[in-house]
Structure 1
Amino acid sequence: MELQVKNLAVARGGVPVLEGLSFSLTAGRALVLRGPNGSGKTTLLRTIAGLQPALEGDITGAGERIAYAAHADGLKTALTVTENLTFWAQVFGNTDISQALAGFDLLGLAERPAGSLSAGQKRRLGLARLMVTGRPVWVLDEPTVSLDAASVALFAEAVRGHLATGGSALMATHIDLGLDEADVFDVAPYRAVPRVSAVDEAFL
């Protein structure tokens, strides 16, 4: 099943920010959202992830198929790296965390409390959670924040592995991830047109 967005309109704080959006994301593909800061990329991702309602339009192929990663790493600081990943794996009905540990170069940190990690290490651990969800659609908001070049390469490789197994990824990022195979969708042409109400017109 593919993720489909049709004639979608989304709002931030009750104010429309994007409208008329339509695109699809098939298995094995990645789509990168582009657009200036404040253009509505985060709002769009949150809507697709089911964290807020759309103003209009339809989203299919989302729901329980999505694993969403925002700016927060979502870690339990008192737990070790292994315990964090084990916790999230169990939430999604899984047990194997070995690929997540290896994929994000966390084996050497496996017994470290998450609270003692650097910002980049925490981000790697936060992203590693995606690999234990078992969910086919990754929805990611600026996933490479706090990552150095080597860690960005690890993330890109994790995405490639996910795509190779029939998964898909929808990402908002300003960073070149080196994923030349990813498609790009510019949200700028879909900025919502400011609406003037009848009450406002009376003062024009």
Structure 2
Amino acid sequence: MELKVSDLACARGGIPVLTGVSFGLASGQALLLRGPNGIGKTTLLRTLAGLQPALAGEISLDREAFAYAAHADGLKATLTVAENLWFWARIYGTRDIAPALAAFNLEDLSERQAHNLSAGQKRRLGLARLLVTGRRIWALDEPTVSLDAASVGLFAQAVKAHCASGGAALIATHIDLGFEAEVLDLTPFRATADSARAFDDGFSEAFL
């Protein structure tokens, strides 16, 4: 099992939003996080990524295997497409950016500075970084924002190839990505006033 979550509770802005979350993610598996806006998909991913502490529960995870991609593309505006990828490749100790350029159709843009890219092109470049990390678990927060249908297809192919090679993907998304995946609806784990009081006696129902 690449990732195992047991009875996890997490908060946003100090307010509990999810409690009792349990699931596993195995090698070769893609798992889609679903639920209405504000349910806590981003909060869950940030907690798994170690960017904020959990309120309770256990996370079994090799941090060195985890790559998290959030809403921001994380690009250096004055560097070219290729230079951005080489920057991350050096950080993660990989030596080849050609597969990443090809996977997201960026070869013809490789010498263009990031600030001259369209929103969709920036998103493709941001996602291409995943391929140079060499990490087995991809945790992605609404990765298809700004992508056209063709680019969503490129992303889907990249995820399928990653899982086929033994990787795993945890993806918060509202759209159909066009490939088979398990679905975890977070709605049943929404924090209630009663469950939140277990973490904070001063909790107010006004925040639910």
TM-score after normalising by structure 2:
0.93
Residue 62 of structure 1: CA displacement? 3.9
1:185 paired with 2:206, answer no
Q: In the alignment, which residue of structure 2 is the partner of 1:110?
A: 110
Task: Give the structure 1 partner of residue 98 of structure 2.
Answer: 98
Deviations 1:115-168 (A, max 9, x none): 100000000000000000000000000000000000000000000010011000
**Match in the other structure for 1:55:** 55
The CA distance in 2 between the partners of 1:30 and 1:185, in whole Å, is 11
The answer to whether the 8 A contact 2:15-2:203 is kept is no
Residue 175 of structure 2 corresponds to which residue in structure 1? 175
Residue aligning to 1:130 = 130
SS at match of 2:171: strand
In structure 1, what residue type is equivalent to 2:191?
A: A
Q: Kindly provide the amino acid, as one letter, of the partner of residue 77 in structure 1.
A: A
Amino acid at match of 2:166: G
Which residues in structure 2 correspond to 1:33-112 (within 5 Å)?
33-112=33-112
Residue 7 of structure 2 corresponds to residue 2 of structure 1: no
Q: In the superposition, relative to structure 1, how do residues 198 and 112 fare at CA in structure 2: closer, same or farther (>3 Å)?
A: closer
In the TM superposition, what is the alpha-carbon distance from 1:199 to its structure 2 partner?
A: 6.8
> What RMSD in Å do the two structures reach over aligned CA positions?
1.5
Q: TM-score, normalised by structure 1?
A: 0.95
User: The residue matched to 2:120 in structure 1 has which SS?
Assistant: helix
**Count of matched residue pairs:** 200
Query: Structure 2: which amino acid aligns with 1:190?
Result: F
Task: Name the amino acid aligned to 2:129.
Answer: R
- Residue type of the alignment partner of 1:140: L
Match of 1:120 in 2: 120
Q: Distance in 2 between matches of 1:128 and 1:200?
A: 41
Change (3 A) 1:59 1:137: same
Q: Distance in 2 between matches of 1:62 and 1:103?
A: 26
Distance of 1:161 and 1:199 partners within structure 2: 48
Q: Secondary structure at the match of 1:67?
A: strand
Matched ranges for 1:145-164 at <5 A: 145-164=145-164
Residue 79 of structure 1 aligns to a residue in which SS? Answer: coil
> d(CA) in 2 for partners of 1:72 and 1:56?
28
Conserved 8 A contact 1:49-1:62: no
* SS of alignment partner, residue 17 of structure 1: strand
What's 1:11 paired with?
A: 11
TM-aligned CA distance change 1:198 to 1:156, over 3 Å: closer
Deviations 1:56-81 (A, max 9, x none): 00001241211100000000010000
Q: Equivalents in 1 of 2:150, 2:86: separation in Å?
A: 25
Helix, strand or coil: the match of 2:51?
coil
Distance 2:202 2:72 in 1: 40
Flag structure 2 segments of 5+ consecutive residues without an equivalent: none
